[in-house]
Amino acid sequence: MSFSNSTLSVNGRQIELPQKDGTIGPSVLDIGKLYAQTGLFTYDPGFTSTAACESKITYIDGDEGILLYRGYPIEQLAEHGDFLETCYLLLYGELPTAAQKADFDYRVTRHTMVHDQMNRFFQGFRRDAHPMAIMVACVGALSAFYHDSTDITDEKQRMVASMRMIAKMPTLAAMAYKYSIGQPFVYPKNDLDYTSNFLRMCFAVPCEEYHANPVLARALDRIFILHADHEQNASTSTVRLAGSSGANPFACIAAGIACLWGPAHGGANEAALKMLEEIGRPERIPEYIAKAKDKNDPFRLMGFGHRVYKNYDPRARIMAKTTHEVLAELGIKDDPLLDVAVELEQIALKDEYFVEKKLYPNIDFYSGITLKAMGFPTSMFTVLFALARTVGWIGQWAEMIEDPSQKIGRPRQLYVGPPKREYVSISQRG
């Protein structure tokens, strides 16, 4: 990282602001002393021009459509690696050697079971509870079950909490699903790989043998890789902010899951699939394109647009290929949803409104179709996103805890409410 100074003119005064340059990507102006020097805050709702931290984990070039985990292009990781290798890379900064990978897989695998009392915890939920509601509650509740890994000042405890969450998230996600359909929970089977084990916990029943389809397991594993981290997005920033107060890691990740649930973020894959179902047939696409362009209509094309990508989302390309592989494996030749999706994509990519605003399909546009074909109900889509993103949240949280310059996050505001006024007793109001 290199440093230089930039000069800013504020109310006729020249202020020197240190400029910090990263390895790649835009440099930043360090405004940490701006208030002390000028009495002014900066104003940036949605943080569109604000870097909240230094990070070595993920890099996105939204204009070029590039996504790197620890410097490695997402396309290469998705093509050649598996999800646990990506987890190792995100957490430790380097690709593992064969021995490190075997050790990591073993450590994750030894933590897949959840405390047996968690089973009873589930009984308190309505059967029709949204599985994201269950995930927020259950992951937060892990801090009530694993007291021995909540001391964030202890490196070993931080590591154990990380392993626990990566390992238990599939178990909890599968339990949430099984509970919603009234089937018994299926315990993890540790001789299976991470994703086959998850498929088994979701789709096996105790009365029959279950063998995960390797094409589907590989596809889902790739989906997990694509979702594993994405820089300082809303849920990751939520995890960092929650963690900045010293909250325990389980509570921080539960906060991230809550944030992810929103339709503008992780809930978009569920919303995109619902939208495709609502459109129903290609002839109706123009009607929906018109709605999306109408300023007086709140409707947006779900699965299109991104805060950072102003080009094709690189994850969407891999996702589209994965979708076709899954549908071919399952022998689904004529999926009306896919027909609508393919045509919608073509129309939107040529439409002046979408071209001008640089609204390209994002990962969620295709992931819903793939997950549906695999047998997951729409309500589980965001849960799968949360499962995959857990490692990213943990990696970012750990990076923050280890950063000596870390402080509690405390944004300021532009106050536009009433100025100071005197209290009026109730009998004199009106």
| Residues 197, 170: Cα–Cα separation, whole Å | 8
Three-class SS of 129-147:
CCHHHHHHHHHHHHHHHCH
Question: Of 105, 221, 313, 364, which one is the catalytic site residue?
Answer: 364
Q: Which two tokens stand for residue 294?
A: 């109408």
Question: Of 306, 335, 351, 403, which one is the catalytic site residue?
Answer: 306
Query: Which member of 111, 158, 200, 230 binds ligand CMC (CB under 6 A)?
Result: 230
306 included as an active-site residue: yes
205 CB neighbour count, 10 Å cutoff: 11
**According to the binding rule CB under 6 A, does residue 81 interact with ligand CMC?**
no
**According to the binding rule CB under 6 A, does residue 227 interact with ligand CMC?**
no
Cβ nearer to ligand CMC, comparing 152 with 344: 344
Cβ nearer to ligand CMC, comparing 200 with 240: 240
Contact present, 142 and 165 (Cβ < 8 Å) = yes
* Minimum distance of ligand CMC from residue 353's CB (angstroms): 7
Tell me which stretch binds ligand CMC (CB under 6 A): 2-10, 182-190, 316-324, 355-363: 355-363
335 included as an active-site residue: no
| Residues 82, 4: Cα–Cα separation, whole Å | 41
* Minimum distance of ligand CMC from residue 345's CB (angstroms): 13
* Minimum distance of ligand CMC from residue 344's CB (angstroms): 11
**According to the binding rule CB under 6 A, does residue 318 interact with ligand CMC?**
no
Q: Which two tokens stand for residue 96?
A: 């593992």
Tell me which stretch binds ligand CMC (CB under 6 A): 36-44, 106-114, 303-311, 395-403: 303-311
Which of 89, 330, 105, 315 has its CA nearest to residue 222? 315
| Residues 216, 220: Cα–Cα separation, whole Å | 6
Give the residue carrying structure tokens 């943080």: 47
| Residues 23, 308: Cα–Cα separation, whole Å | 19
Tell me which stretch binds ligand CMC (CB under 6 A): 9-17, 151-159, 215-223, 262-270: 262-270
Contact present, 69 and 86 (Cβ < 8 Å) = yes
Tell me which stretch binds ligand CMC (CB under 6 A): 26-34, 248-256, 359-367, 369-377: 359-367
**According to the binding rule CB under 6 A, does residue 300 interact with ligand CMC?**
yes
- State residue 201 phi and psi, 5-degree precision: -65, -25
CA atoms within 13 A on the CB side of 97: 2
- SS3 of 61, please? strand
**According to the binding rule CB under 6 A, does residue 275 interact with ligand CMC?**
no
Q: Which residues bind ligand CMC (CB under 6 A)?
A: 230, 233, 264-266, 268, 292, 300-307, 357, 359, 362-364
What are the residue numbers of the active site?
A: 306, 364
